[in-house]
Amino acid sequence: MIPMRLLFINYEFPPVGGGAAYASLAAARELVSMGHEVHVLTAGTPTDSAGEEVDGIRVHRVRAHRKGVHDAGLIGAASFIVSAAIRMRSLLREHNYDLCHYYFGLPTGLLSMVPGAHRRLPYIVSLRGSDVPGYDSALRFLHRALWPLTRHIWCHAFRVVANSRDLRRLAQESSPSVPIDVIANGATVSELNQPRSGASSGIRVLTVSRLIPRKDLETLIVALSQAEDPGMTLDIAGEGPLADSLLALARSLRVEHRVRFHGYVDRVGLARLRAAADIFVLTSVSESCSMALLESIAAGIPAIATRVGGTCELIEHGRTGLLVAAHDANELCGALKVLAANAPLRRQFSDAGRALIAERFSWRMTALRYEALFLAATGRPQLRSPSTDAAADDHDARGERAA
């Protein structure tokens, strides 16, 4: 096998960023283990804008003026594009890349339009959610203004990839003529501690989320208050602009003593929180393929999530978890009570969820599917067969294109 030399470009990469950052790290790590060379061009941390090696991945960092670890903002995104465009030219002179892989059509995909040697390379665009028109209402006007650029980026890519069938559907509402494949995020099934009974110390509910309107943590805090269970507590891991208002809401509902705001939590800290959790909750009003949800299911935590977007592709209601309507505190409260009172059901969801991750959402499967696209883009023969689910998704995609 002749290994490929791949350049991943993502405006966020650990420890900077959220789910997409860790998704790009995990996919790159698997591709390196499969024999390929992967470089990543990304934003630097406040103290590091140079480079490093992570698990065999060569990481090239540039300066970007982000608001915080989880929040780039328009200035952060724009400053990354400027810095990355300059660094990209030097990287192309130093390394003979076979392909560029852009995470996010916007802002990252804008680099595919910058003049330079990389314009001769085929590129893949991975859509993540916020870069798709209609996904986040807060970005409606920005997407409308930038739609000509978005369409150019999608149309000139060798392939556009969405991380869920629902995100593909949404993207094709804007551009039905663009072929879009589906490659979901993955997770790693870790060693399982015996699920907690919750009997002695109460039920611990966990959510891992940016504190932004789209995640709708207000509904979760209201549902917690409605449960009227003094032993049920909520751990919130994440930071964002709504931190103060969420704390004020908890105080107004007199449950501030039952809600712990942890702020930014690193991977080690998240592992500790998951080990102590009885129930994981995701209350997003839109979601493509939540890394927080996948990783919690893989850790054996029974999950409750809103019936939106790609989440319905990760949870089968009543078998691997519970689905509730978005913005519905009453239904969420009822689901919390059901799981809190039923340890055997929590154990059932834990076992079924981990089996689902192992069968359909491993990072190796994700990497194999990306490898197949990269080989096709570079005109090389296929080395391995993607998974059965990959073939099924490809069949779905071909059917939609034909239609």
pLDDT at 80 over 90: yes
Q: What is the mean pLDDT of residues 253-275?
A: 95
Average pLDDT of the segment spanning 172-187: 96
pLDDT at 389: 45
Under CATH, which number does the domain 204-360 receive? 3.40.50.2000
Query: By C-alpha distance, which of 206, 129, 116, 125 is closest to 167?
Result: 129
pLDDT over threshold 60, residue 388: no
CA atoms of 122 and 377, how far apart (whole Å) = 6
% the chain with pLDDT above 90: 80
What's the rounded mean pLDDT across residues 206-230? 96
Is 215's pLDDT higher than 60?
A: yes
pLDDT at 312 over 80: yes
The pLDDT of residue 49 is above 90:
no
Instruction: Quote the CA–CA distance of 100 and 359 in Å, as a whole number.
Output: 29
Q: Mean per-residue pLDDT for 96-123?
A: 94
Indicate the residue type of 51.
G
210, 354, 367: which is closest to 290 by C-alpha? 210
The mean predicted confidence, pLDDT, of the chain is 90
CATH code of the region 5-186+362-402: 3.40.50.2000
What pLDDT, on the 0 to 100 scale, is given for residue 394?
45
pLDDT band of 397, cuts 50, 70, 90: very low
> Is 0.85 topped by the overall pTM?
yes
Confidence of residue 395 (pLDDT cuts 50, 70, 90): very low
Query: 38-52, 277-291, 339-353: which has the minimum mean pLDDT?
Result: 38-52
The predicted pLDDT at position 361 comes to: 96
Span(s) in the chain for CATH 3.40.50.2000:
5-186+362-402, 204-360
